[in-house]
Amino acid sequence: GHVSWTPVLNAAVYYVDRHIEEGRGEKTAIYYLDQTFTYGQVAEMVNRAGNTLRSLGILREQRVLLLLLDCPAFAAAFFGAMKIGAVPIPVNTLLTPADYLYILQDSRATAAVVSAELLPGLLEVKHQLSYLQHILVVPPLENPQSFTVPTDLGLYDWDEALAGAKPFLEPEATSADEAAFWLYSSGTTGFPKGTIHLHHDMIVCSATYGRHVLNITENDITYSVARLFFAYGLGNALYFPFGAGAATVLNPYRPEPVKVLEIVQKYRPTLYFGVPTSYTAILQVPEAAQRYDLSSIRFCASAGEALPRPIFEQWLATFGLPIYDGIGSTEMAHIFITNKPGAYKAGSSGTLVPGYRARIISEGREVPVGEIGNLMVSGDSAAAGYWNKHEKSKETFQGSWINTGDKYYKDAEGYYWHVGRSDDMLKAGGIWVSPMEVENILMEHPAVLESVVIGHIDEDGLSKPKAFVVLKPGFEPGPAMVKELQNHVKKSAAPYKYPRWIEFVDSLPRTASGKIRRYVLRNLSTAVPAENSQAGA
């Protein structure tokens, strides 16, 4: 028989070292606050990071958790780990200690690189960890000089460790098909799933969306409101610019609308990546177009959830720029259907990105144009599967096809229109919220008998969590109880998950078999504004 070997490919070499060989060593790779980093400097940082991890005994295939704000250390840790064949796992910085405990135990990461600001959350669960041995702490933004790493066993100062490491590093001869990085993705039931991406996956995204949609070149400057720990942000602000030898603007602070406008004015990015919530928030800034110069931007992208048509139109009217909405997923690494210059329809997700295939399936068959079905997608950036979640992997990864869980129809011109999810998942600001998680937390409150959480569409056309709550006898519904329950959720879940509205009901609608009829509440929720509801921040 014929024996074929998977080619040797180390994505860190493609994204970092290649630029030195191709003469871009002096070119700016990262703009960060008042610093700039050239590709030469980034390559050296990556090598020092890889050597640091190696000297701690981190081996090929071992996972390394990255709990980091957007900063140059992220790039160094991500590609440094990858260069030695280890597997970085960027994680959401807004999660709770319990979430980090789960992810660290599930992944069995042996090392973590953590921003000092986020360290307390990790230390809270450190005694419960079975696998984590080393924590490298990136000094804080405020008073980094006076920062000292707590003297706990296994804690190191990132800057000191890198300063003491060698600046040269031979890449591990990884194969194109071995794990390069993981990302955790949430679902309706159960814990988040470690989604395993391979060394070739990012390169496929660079060759598809990066080349055919963004048309990114080394003259571009990217800026993403979506953080690096999201699959969306990771492409936008790291591997798309690094794939082209372009520059990226990284900023560690919360992307408040005015801050975002200041960053655009200061660094003059050409490619801008937002989410519907951030576009909506910027449109609320008085006289934004008069006060801030956005003329550097040649392309505005949106993803994470559908961009409502009114937001597209207001943005175009205000800034003269169309927003190119596209759908991507953690499983596909990045965007596979999108609007683009010369081919867009406001309110749609656009057309297929070259390199991807899609099918809309209902009852086992592809549906005709105009009919709604479940969206399946195929492309070579697809993850290999979920870590240790066999049943969930089989549901999502079906041969070369991935079940997105989204309901779509396609029009006669090949544009895809999002009509909802086929599960109960909802998003807030483009981030997954599992209704069950919020329901369980509400149920822990002594006043709550039962509850249902759904996605409620606000006045901007964006979905946010809303709870229907049945109180136990003797508890008073009203604004005080709304606040109380909201605070209760904020205490035990990531802050973006709290219900923005709470409606008190006498009972929940159920089927004959006792299953809650969520769709009834969803319809009720859009038709009649809730009496007892109270809008949140």
**Where along the sequence are the contacts to ligand 3UK (CB under 6 A)?**
185, 231-232, 303-306, 325-330, 334-335, 349, 404-406, 418, 421, 432
Length of the chain: 537
Q: Which residues contact 22 (CB under 8 A, 6 or more apart)?
A: 245
Of 158 and 324, CB closest to ligand 3UK: 324
Q: Which is nearer to ligand 3UK, 171 or 326 (CB)?
A: 326
Nearer to ligand 3UK, 158 or 232 (CB): 232
Greatest C-alpha distance within the chain: 76
Q: In the complex, what is the shortest distance from the CB of residue 418 to ligand 3UK, in angstroms, rounded to a whole number?
A: 4
CB of 185 to ligand 3UK, least distance (A): 5
Q: How far apart are CA 387 and CA 106, in angstroms?
A: 8
| Minimal distance, residue 336 CB to ligand 3UK, in Å | 9
Short-list 211, 206, 240, 220, CA closest to 28: 220
Q: Residue 526's CB: how many other CB atoms inside 10 A?
A: 11
- In the complex with ligand 3UK, which residue's Cβ is closer, 310 or 405? 405
Give 29 or 303: the residue with its C-beta nearer to ligand 3UK.
303
Tokens at 406, concatenated: 């989204």
Q: How far is the CB of 432 from ligand 3UK (least distance, A)?
A: 6
CA separation, residue 120 to residues 63, 67, 263, 374 (Å): 21, 12, 29, 42
Min CB(26)–ligand 3UK separation in Å: 31
The CB-nearest residue to ligand 3UK is 328
CB of 404 to ligand 3UK, least distance (A): 4
Quote the least distance from Cβ 471 to ligand 3UK, whole Å: 32
Strand partners, 408: 373, 418
CB of 197 within 8 A of CB of 333? yes
**Which of 326, 373 has the CB closer to ligand 3UK?**
326
Cα–Cα distance between 188 and 424 in angstroms, integer? 6
Q: What is the smallest separation between the CB atom of 398 and ligand 3UK, expressed in angstroms?
A: 15
CB closer to ligand 3UK, 43 vs 202? 202
Closer Cβ to ligand 3UK, 242 or 432, answer by number: 432
Task: State the minimum distance, in angstroms, from the CB of residue 243 to ligand 3UK.
Answer: 15
Output the smallest distance, CB 22 to ligand 3UK, in A: 27
Q: Which residues, in sequence order, are CB contacts of 184 under 8 Å at separation 6+?
A: 89, 91, 92, 103, 192, 193, 194, 195
Are the C-beta atoms of residues 75 and 356 closer than 8 Å to each other?
no
Q: Taking the complex as a whole, how short is the minimal distance between the CB of residue 226 and ligand 3UK, in angstroms?
A: 8
How far is Cα of residue 254 from the mean position of the Cα atoms in its chain? 15
Complex with ligand 3UK: residue 110 or 329, whichever CB lies closer: 329
Cβ 77 to ligand 3UK, closest distance in Å? 20
Cα-based distances in Å from 84 to 47, 74, 81, 363, 381: 9, 16, 6, 46, 22
- Return the number of the residue (316 or 508) whose C-beta is nearest ligand 3UK: 316
Pairing outcome for strands 323-328 and 335-338: antiparallel
Closer residue to ligand 3UK, CB minimum distance, 85 or 210: 210
CB of 192 to ligand 3UK, least distance (A): 10
AA letter at 253: Y
| Tokens encoding 177 | 């098909």
Report yes or no: 324 and 348 within 8 Å, Cβ to Cβ: no
Structure tokens belonging to residue 54 = 């190696």
Rounded to 10 degrees, the C-alpha dihedral 524/527/532/537 comes to 110
Question: Two tokens at 207?
Answer: 């060759």
Task: For 315, list phi and psi in degrees, rounded to 5.
Answer: -65, -45
Q: Which of 331, 334, 330, 297 is nearest to 316 (CA)?
A: 297
Rounded CA gap, 438 and 501, in Å? 13
| Nearest CB to ligand 3UK, comparing residues 31 and 184 | 184
Name which of 257 and 405 has its Cβ closer to ligand 3UK.
405
Which DSSP string do the residues of 457-516 spell out, in sequence order? E-TTS-EEEEEEEEEPTT---SHHHHHHHHHHHHHHS-GGGS-SEEEE-SS--B-TTS-B
Cα–Cα distance for residue pair 89/182, rounded to 1 Å: 5
